[in-house]
Structure 1
């Protein structure tokens, strides 16, 4: 999971581990099944105690996610398939809500920043600037996730069937579960180290590569 692109060779891993290529795939599948069984334990909404100490925007933990969309899908469209969007009154308690960027819908559980021309108003601009700090922290979280698990930068798998698609999505789920487990064990400092490994430059490289692949599929 620490390799990507042409470096993610089953043959190379088998040679380094001293086992057959089939064993690499079998061991990987068995480990994935074990890790996926822990999803409900480690990818969950925050407890009242965790919310009380105010660590929601700062610990780089992932509390909800969705995957399976194509690269052209908008963030707001993907968000509609999360637990937070489909079951907001279960995910949020009382008057809780989530901050979001201007592309998201306004409702009692999702508060986005302002769009133009409202964003040009001084008070609204100040409000949006403060919320932008949370957005940066969200980017840090994804940077830490992709920095630690380089496979998310370029998972070289052929998606020719629904099963191929499902198998590819498992890599994302496993990475997120492990990300949260490590934070629980080692603290958020362990994730901070990896956010610099996958910064804006690396994200830009990935975006260009994803665009090229989508145009040539």
Structure 2
């Protein structure tokens, strides 16, 4: 027989605290006037608490006029440091989501203004370390530190997800040909740059934590991104466990399983040595390669690395603007929280593309970290690393690049 007592709600905790405090104050008083004053105050506090949908045991000062009394007072530099976007960018992003149904649903509790909610989420996406703590964000923006911030984040995320197809899409045949034309003198027929990245988790997941433990010896979720020569993100795969190899992510992605829908003619992506050599992914020559001579292999690798590094630049910009991606402070305890982390990264990618438009782009300083992780033997065999067609294509591209 289950003898567990029912869980006390946060609102009930507040009510119990108010009653206990009032009883304690009465014991310290010895006149009737003070008694009735204490009871009157208790009555007012109980009315306020019971009229709210949800109480907050840790009282956070509310700032309902935050958007009119605080945000406008920030100079441009502080505004950008706080929200990671300029005022013009903020206004533009706000115009994209303001009329979303998520902010116009019928709720029993009145929502904060859309600009207030957007500011909270942008601050959260751009914060790392202690700045990302829920209580600190609640204090800065004058909102509750219970589920309020989670609900606001979920609501704004959903609004951005509905913009995904508009801002993250694979170039059609005509656009791919235009990319080839603009970059032909760099690497002929290359239409993008591919790589994987890790989203470090601040703490170990509650379940199956070993599957999240990566070769970098951290708990993480993996993502795979393709960007073009303008550092615009064209394809995203996110949600694999940290222990999954980059090549395995690629093998299960539509880029591999449906390659005819993504490439035409001699088009290809530039990838590092963590990827297999394929007709659609060209990697640098390995140190033990027997193809061509050493000088030509080295020349090809230098040219390849010079332009492939654009995907590292893309990751650098993404993680420097949205500092939360350096270490996600989300506790993964089930599929829902795992998917929330994946959505977090995807929303950052959507915002990245929104802000890559010429009139809204502001670059951030960043460090490029090269990852030359080698393919494991099993993955090489699965995908067919020693493809003669892929080798022939790389030799052909090498001749085009080196002028032979």
Q: TM-score range by the shorter chain?
A: 0.7 to 0.9
Pairwise CA distance, 1:135: 2.3
Instruction: Compute the TM-score of the two structures, normalised by the length of structure 2.
Output: 0.45
Give ranges in structure 2 of 5+ residues lacking alignment: 1-124, 184-191, 193-227, 371-404
Give the one of 111, 128, 148 matched to 2:301: 128
Q: In the alignment, is the contact (CA less than 8 A) between 2:126 and 2:323 conserved in 1?
A: yes
1:61, 1:85 → 2: CA distance?
21
User: Which has more helix, going by share of residues?
Assistant: 1
> How many aligned residue pairs are there?
197
Residue 165 of structure 2: aligned partner:
40
Give ranges in structure 1 of 5+ residues lacking alignment: 205-217
Give the one of 248, 257, 265 matched to 1:94: 265
Residue 137 of structure 1: aligned partner:
310
Give the one of 149, 153, 159 matched to 2:332: 159
1:4, 1:78 → 2: CA distance?
27
Residue 81 of structure 1: aligned partner:
252
Q: Structure 1 residues 61, 79: closer, same or farther in 2, change over 3 A?
A: same
Give the one of 310, 318, 321 matched to 1:148: 321
**3-state SS, counterpart of residue 40 of structure 1:** helix
Pairwise CA distance, 1:139: 0.6
Give the one of 367, 382, 394 matched to 1:199: 367
Q: In the alignment, is the contact (CA less than 8 A) between 1:65 and 1:82 conserved in 2?
A: no
2:287, 2:311 → 1: CA distance?
23
Higher relative contact order by CA 8 Å / sep ≥ 6: 1 or 2? Answer: 1
Following TM superposition, the consecutive aligned residue runs of length 4 or more in structure 1 with deviations greater than 6 angstroms are none
Residue 90 of structure 2: aligned partner:
none
Say whether residues 1:10 and 2:99 are aligned partners: no
Give 1 or 2 for the bigger CA radius of gyration.
Answer: 2
After superposition, where does 1:97-116 map in structure 2 within 5 Å? 97-116=268-287
Q: Structure 1 residues 50, 99: closer, same or farther in 2, change over 3 A?
A: closer
User: Which has more strand, going by share of residues?
Assistant: 2
My pick for the range that moved more, 151-160 or 64-73, is 64-73
Q: Structure 1 residues 99, 172: closer, same or farther in 2, change over 3 A?
A: same
After superposition, where does 1:21-40 map in structure 2 within 5 Å? 21=145, 22-40=147-165
2:358, 2:340 → 1: CA distance?
27
Say whether residues 1:52 and 2:178 are aligned partners: yes
Pairwise CA distance, 1:104: 1.8
1:35, 1:8 → 2: CA distance?
20
Pairwise CA distance, 1:86: 2.5
**3-state SS, counterpart of residue 150 of structure 2:** helix
Q: Compute the RMSD of aligned alpha carbons.
A: 2.2
Q: In the alignment, is the contact (CA less than 8 A) between 1:100 and 1:110 conserved in 2?
A: yes
